[in-house]
Chains A and B, each alone.
Chain A
Amino acid sequence: MRDRFVGFAAALNRLGAAVACVALGALVVLITLQVVRRRLLGAPIVYTDEVSGYLLVAVTFLSLGYALQHGDHIQVEFLTGRLAPRRLRWLRVSWCLIGLGFTGLLTVRTAVLALDSARLGAFSITSQVPLAPIQAVAPLGFALLFLQLAARLVETLWPPR
C-alpha cells in the first residue's frame, strides 16, 4: 500500500514534469518566432507576452512536486545535518506537515481564484481565452506538490526495510 501510494505520487509528478517540459519547448518556439516575426517580417505576434506568462505558469507549477522528488528545493541543513537519526526523522515529519499545511492552503486558495474566474466568465485581455482553465494549472501544481509531500511523509514515517 505504502509503495503503491509513493509510486503513484512519483508517476503523477513525472507526468507533470513532462507537460512542463512541453510548455518549456513551446516557450522557446514562441519567443523565437516572435523575435523573427517582429524584427525580420515586421509582423509581431500580439499575444506573445500574455501566452509566455501562461506557459511559465505551466513550466513552474507543474514541476514543483517533481523538483521535490529530486531534492531540488533548498533547505538550510548545516545544523539539522548533525542531529541523531531519530531526532532528524521527527524533524523531517514536521517539515512535511508544515509543507502540507502551506501547499494545502495554496491549493485551496488558487482553486478559489480559478473557480471565481469560471463563475465570472473571465477572459484574458489580449488573446481572449478563458482564464479559468489556465488558472487551474496553479492548484493542480500545488496539489502535485502536496501529493509528493504526503509521499515523503509516508516514507519518513514508514521507511522501506
Chain B
Amino acid sequence: MSWELAGAIYLVVMTLLLVGGVWIAIALGVVGVVGLLIVNPSLVAGIESVAWNTIESFVLTAVPLFLFMGAVIMNSGVSARFYRGLTPWLARVPGGLAQSNIVACSIFAALCGSSVATAAAIGAIAIPEMRTRGYDMRMTTGTLAAGGTLGILIPPSIPFIIYGSTVGESVGRLFTAGVVPGVILTLAFMAFLGVQVWLHPGLVPRETGVVTWAMRLRALLDLVPVVLLIVLVLGGIYAGVMTPTEAAGVGAAGALAVAALYRGLTWPVLKRSLLETVRANAMILFIVIGAQIMSFALVSAGIPRGVVAAISDLSASRWMVFTFIVVMYLVLGCLVDALSLMLLTLPVVFPIVQAQGFDPIWFGVVLVILLETGLITPPVGINLFVIQGMSGEPLGRVAAGSFPYVVLMLLAIVLLAFFPGLALWLPAKMF
C-alpha cells in the first residue's frame, strides 16, 4: 500500500474518532492499531513494547513531579499568599492588580509546568479581588487566560518535557531556550496592558489606598520563599547541578517544605495534591502512549518519509513551509487541546522541520508558543473555559479580552523567525 493511501486512511479514521468524541489518548492509539493492521498485522505484537518503553522513562518522571510541585503550591495557599505579596509592589504600575495577574502568572509558571494550573491558581485569587475593586472584567479575564499560557513556555514546562522526550532533544536546553522568549512575552503582555489602561483609564479603578515601604517589605515574607524555590529548581538546572528530573524532585520536596513553613501542609492538602497529580499525570502520559503507538504505525507505513520527500519535490522555500506549519497549528489549535495537538502532529511535522534545516530547540520554542495561542482561542481554548468557569463571564467576553494576547504571541513568533538567537543564545551559553 502506498504511503499516500495509508495516510489518507489514518486521517479519515483519526478525524472520525476525534470529532466523534472518543477520548484523545484512545483515539490516537486506535488509529495506530488500525494503521498497523493495514500495513503489517504482525506489528500489532509490538505495541506492548511501545507502551512499556514510553512510560519506563527517567525523563518523563519529571512530569508528575512538576505537577505535584504546582499542586502543593496551589492547594496549600502558598500561591494566594504570593499573589497578595506581589500586589503592593505593583500597585503604582499602570494597570495595578491586572499587572499583578501577568507577573504572578509568569512567576507561578516557573513553579508548575501547566497553563491550566497557572490560570486556575491565579484566577481563583484574582477574580474575586478585582471584581470587588471594580476592574473591567473583560480585561481582567483576558490577562488571566493569556497570563496562564505562560505556564507552558516559562520553564519548567510539561510540553517541553514531552517534546524533548518525543524528538530526542535535551529537556534542559529546551527549558533554557524558553527563558528569553518567556520574559519577552511577559514584558510584551505588561506593556500592552499599560498602553490599554493609558488609552482607556476607565478599565481600572482609581487606587486610593496608600502603599508604604513598610507594607512592601512585609509583603516580601510572602514572596521570598517562593522565589527561593524557583531559584533552587531553575538555578539547579541552569548551573548544571541537577537534571530537569532531579530538579523536579527537589522542587516537589521544596514545595512541601514551603507549604509546611506557611503552615499550609495538612493531610487533606497533601491527599488532594497527590490525587490531583496522579490523575493529571495519567491523562497526559496516556496521550503520550497513544501518540507513540500512532507514531509507530506512521513510521511503519513510511508516511513521515513520504511527506518530507513530497515537500522537497514542491521546491517550496523553507519559510513558506514554516508559514504553512504555523497556520496549520493556529487552525488545529482552535480544535484540539495543546498537548494532544503536539503529539498528534510531531511524527509528521518534526521530520519536515528537520529536513528544512530548522533548529529543533528553536522549533520547540515556536511550537510551544503556537500551542499557547490554542489555549486562548475558541472553541476549545482550555484556559478560556477555566477563567469563564471561575468568573461566570460569557465565553465570548473572555475570548475577546484574550485576543490581543494571541496577536502578541504571533508577533513573538515573527520575532523568533527573524532573530532565532532569542531562543538559542542562552542554551548555547549554558550547555
Contact = CB atoms under 8 A, between A and B. Distances in A.
B61 A76 contact: no
A80 to B, nearest CB: 4
Interface stretch (B15-23, B212-220, B301-309): B15-23
A114 B55 CA distance: 15
B379 A17 contact: no
Given A17-B275, A28-B68, A60-B285, A109 B47 contact: yes
B241 A99 contact: no
Contacts of B313: none
Main secondary structure of the interface of A (DSSP, over half): helix
A62 B286 CA distance: 11
B6 to A, nearest CB: 20
Given A21-B278, A31-B246, A60-B285, A55 B61 contact: yes
For this complex, into which size category does the number of interface residues on chain B fall? 35 or more
A106 B56 CA distance: 16
B48 A75 contact: no
B17 to A, nearest CB: 7
B285 A75 contact: no
A160 B102 CA distance: 45
A80 B249 contact: no
A31 B65 contact: yes
A56 B283 contact: no
Nearest to B286: A64
B278 A20 contact: yes
Contacts of B25: 73-74
A21 B97 CA distance: 37
Interface string A18-40: 00110011011111101100010
A94 interface: yes
A58 to B, nearest CB: 10
Contacts of A102: 26, 29-30, 33
Interface in A58-90: 59-64, 66-68, 70, 72-80
B242 interface: yes
B18 A76 contact: yes
A105 interface: yes
A79 B56 CA distance: 36
A138 interface: yes
Contact of A63 (B24, B26, B282): B282
A41 to B, nearest CB: 14
A63 B278 contact: yes
Given A53-B58, A73-B24, A66 B278 contact: yes
B101 to A, nearest CB: 26
Contact of B52 (A59, A77, A94, A113): A113
Contacts of A66: 275, 278-279, 282
Contacts of A68: 23
A66 to B, nearest CB: 6
A74 B21 contact: no
A92 to B, nearest CB: 8
A57 B57 CA distance: 9
Contacts of A39: 241-242
Contacts of B52: 57, 110, 113, 135, 138
Contact of B249 (A17, A27, A61, A113): A27
B282 A52 contact: no
A49 interface: yes
A32 B250 contact: yes
Interface stretch (B172-180, B317-325, B334-342): B334-342
A120 B191 CA distance: 64
Nearest to B56: A53
Given A30-B249, A56-B61, A78-B335, 20 more contacts: A21-B274, A27-B61, A28-B65, A28-B252, A31-B65, A31-B252, A49-B58, A52-B61, A62-B278, A63-B279, A67-B278, A67-B280, A72-B279, A73-B283, A75-B23, A77-B21, A99-B26, A105-B47, A109-B45, A110-B51
17 contacts: A20-B278, A28-B252, A35-B249, A39-B241, A57-B52, A57-B56, A62-B278, A63-B282, A67-B278, A67-B282, A73-B283, A74-B25, A76-B18, A76-B380, A99-B26, A109-B44, A110-B52
Interface of A: 17, 20-21, 24-25, 27-32, 34-35, 39, 49, 52-57, 59-64, 66-68, 70, 72-80, 91, 94-95, 98-99, 101-103, 105-106, 109-110, 112-113, 135, 138
